[in-house]
A and B are shown apart, each in its own frame.
Chain A
Amino acid sequence: MDAPLPLQSDSARSCILHPISPTEGHANVIAGHDNDHLVLDIFRYTSLPTFVLDANLHVTHVSDSYCSVSGIRNREQLLGAHVDDLGANATVPSNSLSHRGIRAAQDTAGPSIFNESINDRVWTLRTVPVIRDGTICSFLMEVQDTTEAHQKQLELEERMYTNETFKILVDTIKDVAIFMLDPQGNVATWNAGAQAFKGYTKSEIIGKHFSGFYTQEDRDNDKPARELRDALNNGACEDEGWRMRKDGSRFWANVVITPVRKDGALLGFSKVTRDLSERKKAESKLIAVYEEASRLKSEFLANMSHEIRTPMHGMLSALTLLLDTQLNPEQLELAHIIQESGEVLLHVINDILDYSKLASGSFSISHDIISVREIILSVFRAHEKVSKPGITLEKDIDPRLPIAAEGDSFRFRQIVENLVSNASKFTEQGYIRIQATQQHEDDTKYIVLIEVIDTGIGVPLIASGSLFTPFNQFDNSATKRYKGTGLGLSICKSLVELMGGNIGFRPNPEGTGSVFWFTAQLKRVEHSKRLGLIQNRLDNISFPTSPTPGLDQLNILAGDRRVLLAEDNAINRKVMLKILIGLGFNHVDIAVDGNEAVLMALKASPSYDLILMDINMPFLDGVQATKEIRGAGLDVPIVAMTANALKGQAESYIAKGMTGYIAKPVDRKLLAELLLSCLEQEDSGSARRGSISHNQVPRGSYD
């Protein structure tokens, strides 16, 4: 409770209740009386809820409006009550609030305002001291419900606070550049982060167009404007790419542009740029590490396959020798199982070797002269012999196909072979048709389309997507029935791509089965010539040769054949001549150097059926001589003879137009096989595949 006021309470009270003494004159009395009434009325009927306390804090006036807001029914009871008693009856103000107002009035001698909250409403108490002769004679207390005003104030404060916080927030972000662009794309404002990593000062950039942050290339492509348009159309535009700093260096950025609208009108764009250089660096590092690991893996696979292949060849060679010895039926069966498994294993290893070379990017295709027709025929013949009963093997070869074109015959054949093998693997009855069409021909190239159509089990739709991905077999449960690595089609795909073509499949429109197809680009060759005998090589690389050729057969074939032997060493000439005669060749001409060989080959009429060509000869070596002979349009088989049987050289001779090659010292039987196959091929393109001696086990130290 407040202490009694140090005021002269009597005089203070009288000043209100008895404002004017009767002795002060009649006119004044009349006036004073009217005035009293007026004052009383003002206090009683003011719409501002009010009560008046005298110096002793007793209520002297109460307005009806106050009674109404504070819930007082009997106004008269209040008059003369102490302010503390008022608090017991009225809902507002609380005693403590009243005393706060009174004390403030006493301390400051001026009006004060205090608020209090009662039942979710905010009440404001305004206390005005009334002072006469330096002492407070009464207190004017006004009570108002200010809930609404208060609420507004709070909201305003909150808004101001939020704005301020946002400003601080945006300004303190250093890792993200935030811009405001006007509708044209000029920078209206930006934050410290933008300044930090773009390198401009504020004055250098405000008002400039934001396209300055883009690379020249992006600007040339109209990317900045496009991004604004996209942002407008889609509500936002996000992009990752290179952006420029003031110093011209670039950084990898993520940029989000969002249009900013107010009441439907476009104010401009917000542009948020994050520097992802570090992440990009980490990504690149990760990718590089992955690629390196992948390359190492492929290299490892390639090396391993190669290392495995060599002893495999040895094993299979030894096995062939073993099969030639006297084996009892049980042994023979076991040996055949070993042989079959060995061949499958070798096939798998070859696949892996191809795959890993393709995957590591170290694979290149060669540029031989090839005949698509011959390749198809050869694959056809090979499969014709072994095709299952109940399957007809058909071929349909476009007569327009080029006789000779530049391409990788071995790999081309590998693709055809793979597709046909797949077809026969999955077809139990019906047909397998190989179809070759020339799709396109111009001055520089041909495009050929090869289709392998079967009536097999077909490809389930679900498997079609992953058919050409590595290690995929559409039916894993069928692995036992359909052996293979699942690499074949993936290898084919890569090979086809290297040949500038496509590969794909579709269901066989004639019912069950599939159509596997691929296209390849083959370069035109200048002097188109028939090099059917190239086939010879292809056959030999892919297939085991059949057992020892009949020497008698060669004898019969050789009789009327004209052979040119080009060899500069007299001793070798003599031996070769003897061998050739021994093999049944009666017409053998001799050239002692390359020049002579060319002259004789071109002059001979009728032309030679076969040329045996030493590689190292004076004046014109065997390779050059072959080039000239081919250049003149002769397609006679030319067999290279050399003691330089380095790995890979055989292939290079063949690539240079030779038909085959045999290592020196020439082995009579190998030569016989080779010549027999050459002559047979020349005669008819018949199915027999001869042996080329570059697949021989090198003798002694002549490897």
Chain B
Amino acid sequence: MARADSAKDDAGDRSDHEDHGGDIMKITGAKDSIDEATFEQILEMDDDEEEREFSKSIVYDFFTQAESTFEKMDSNLEKKDLKTLSELGHFLKGSSATLGLSKVKDSCEKIQNYGQKKDEKGEKDITEEDGLKKLETTIKQAKQEFHDVEKVLRKFYNDEQ
């Protein structure tokens, strides 16, 4: 029954703030890569809906964090340090999840699993060789997904370079 309550709360969340969410979700590419409810919650924390100081700072922090994490991933990929790659995947998964950047988050989860020499769902064992191969493509994919959603977010914050 607790489930029911939380489901209700979820629905409540969404209906309360539909008008805000519309903005970003209308941007091309947003629908696939952003979980609306989660990102909404971040937006709600803004004291001023015009300035969006808080959420903007978080999002831009994330840009920085993602760039530096991807750099570390590249160097550890070269060193074939699977364990560190898994940790990095987990780390970036945490923040992308908080922001609702679902595509990046999913890829990071895969990186975390491949780094532990498991398949993408973390269920079956795979070989180290296989893991490295998959890590290489998935990191590449994660970067692409990050850049895609970065564009959406920058557009939202009116910061198109």
Residues of A within 8 A of B (CB): 313, 316-321, 324, 343, 540, 543-545, 547-548, 568-572, 574-575, 578-579, 582, 614, 616, 618, 643, 664-670, 691-693, 695-697, 699-702
Query: Residues of B contacting A614 with CB < 8 Å?
Result: 94
- Select A571's contact among B6, B99, B102, beta carbons within 8 Å: B99
For A672, give the chain B residue with the smallest CB separation.
B9
| Nearest B-chain residue to A346, judged by Cβ | B1
Q: Are A569 and B4 in contact (CB under 8 A)?
A: no
| Binary contact track B1-28/A, C-beta < 8 Å → 1, others 0 | 1111111111111000000000000000
Q: Which residues from A are CB-within-8-Å of B62?
A: 571
Q: How far is the CA of A582 from the CA of B94 in the complex (A)?
A: 21
Across the A-B interface, the 10 shortest Cβ-Cβ residue pairs: A544-B1, A695-B2, A320-B4, A696-B6, A317-B4, A571-B95, A697-B7, A569-B94, A578-B45, A665-B98
Contact B45–A569 (Cβ < 8 Å)? no
Contacts of A570 in B (CB 8 A): 61, 65, 95
B98 CB contact (under 8 Å) in A540, A568, A572, A693: A572
Q: Are A545 and B42 in contact (CB under 8 A)?
A: no
New A-B pairs, 17, CB < 8 Å, besides A320-B8, A571-B65, A696-B2: A313-B3, A316-B4, A317-B8, A320-B5, A321-B4, A324-B8, A544-B2, A568-B91, A570-B95, A571-B99, A572-B95, A575-B98, A616-B90, A664-B98, A691-B5, A691-B6, A699-B35
Residues on B with C-beta less than 8 A from A343 are 1
Pairs A–B under 8 Å by Cβ, sample size 6 = A317-B3, A321-B11, A569-B94, A571-B61, A572-B95, A699-B35
| Residues of chain B within 8 A of A321, CB atoms compared | 4, 7-8, 11
Whether, in the assembled complex, B37 has its beta carbon less than 8 Å from a beta carbon of chain A, the answer is: yes
A316 to B5, CA, bound (A): 10
Chain B residues touching A, range: 35 or more
Q: How far is the CA of A365 from the CA of B5 in the complex (A)?
A: 28
Contacts A571-B65, A574-B61, A575-B45 given: A691-B2 contact, CB under 8 Å?
A: yes
Contact with A along B122-158 (1 / 0, CB 8 A): 0000000000000000000000000000000000000
Instruction: Provide the residues of chain A in CB contact with B65, threshold 8 Å.
Output: 569-571
Q: Which of B3, B10, B35, B61 has the most CB of A within 10 A?
A: B3
Instruction: Tell me, yes or no, whether B97 is within 8 Å of chain A by CB.
Output: yes
Query: Which residues from B are CB-within-8-Å of A571?
Result: 58, 61-62, 65, 94-95, 98-99
Contact A667 B9 (CB under 8 A): yes
Query: Min CB distance, A323 to chain B, in Å?
Result: 9
Q: Give chain B's interface secondary structure class.
A: helix
CB contact between A664 and one of B2, B4, B94, B106 (< 8 Å): that residue: B94
Q: Which residues of B contact A665 (CB under 8 A)?
A: 38, 41, 97-100
CA gap between A574 and B117 in the complex, in Å: 32
Across-interface contacts of A693 in B (CB, < 8 A): 6
CA distance A614 to B65 in the complex (A): 18
User: What residues of chain B lie closer than 8 Å to A666, measured between beta carbons?
Assistant: 98
Q: Which residues of B contact A547 (CB under 8 A)?
A: 5
The verdict on B118 contacting chain A, using a C-beta distance below 8 Å, is no
Q: B93: shortest Cβ distance to chain A, in Å?
A: 6
Distance of B25 from chain A, by nearest CB (Å)? 14
- With a CB–CB cut-off of 8 A, which chain B residues contact A696? 2-3, 6-7
Given A570-B61, A571-B65, A665-B41, check contact A702 B97 (CB 8 Å): yes
Asked whether B45 lies within 8 Å of A692 as measured between CB atoms, the reply is: no
Complex contact A667–B41 (CB within 8 A): yes
In the bound complex, what is the Cα–Cα distance between A55 and B51 (angstroms)?
A: 166
A595 to B99, CA, bound (A): 26
0 or 1 for each of B90-119: is its CB under 8 Å from A? (1 = yes): 110111011110100010000000000000
**Closest-CB distance, B119 to chain A (whole angstroms):** 15
* A668 to B44 CA separation, bound complex (whole angstroms): 10
Closest to B100 in A: A665
Known: A544-B1, A578-B45, A665-B38. A695 touches B98 (CB 8 A): no
Residues of chain A with a CB closer than 8 A to B97's CB: 643, 664-665, 702
CA distance A673 to B99 in the complex (A): 21
Residues of A within 8 Å of B44, CB to CB, are: 668
B10 partner residues in chain A, CB cutoff 8 A: 667, 697, 699
- Complex Cα distance, B71 from A275, in Å, reads 80
* Distance between A550 CB and nearest chain B CB, rounded to angstroms: 14
CB atoms of B7 and A320 under 8 A apart: yes
Q: How far is the CA of A152 from the CA of B9 in the complex (A)?
A: 110
Binary contact readout B28-44 vs A (1 if CB under 8 angstroms, 0 otherwise): 00000001011001101
CB closest chain-B residue, reference A614? B94
Query: With A and B bound together, what is the CA distance between A578 and B93 in angstroms?
Result: 20
Chain B residues, Cβ within 8 Å of A667:
6, 9-10, 13, 41
CA distance A60 to B45 in the complex (A): 157
Tell me the minimal C-beta distance from B16 to chain A in angstroms: 10
Q: Give the one of A543, A614, A696 with max B CB within 10 A.
A: A696
| B8 near A545: Cβ-Cβ < 8 Å | no
Q: How far is the CB of A700 from chain B (nearest CB, A)?
A: 5
Binary interface profile of B, 70-92, with partner A (CB < 8 Å = 1, else 0)? 00000000000000000100110
Rounded to whole Å, the gap between the CB of B92 and the closest CB of chain A is: 8
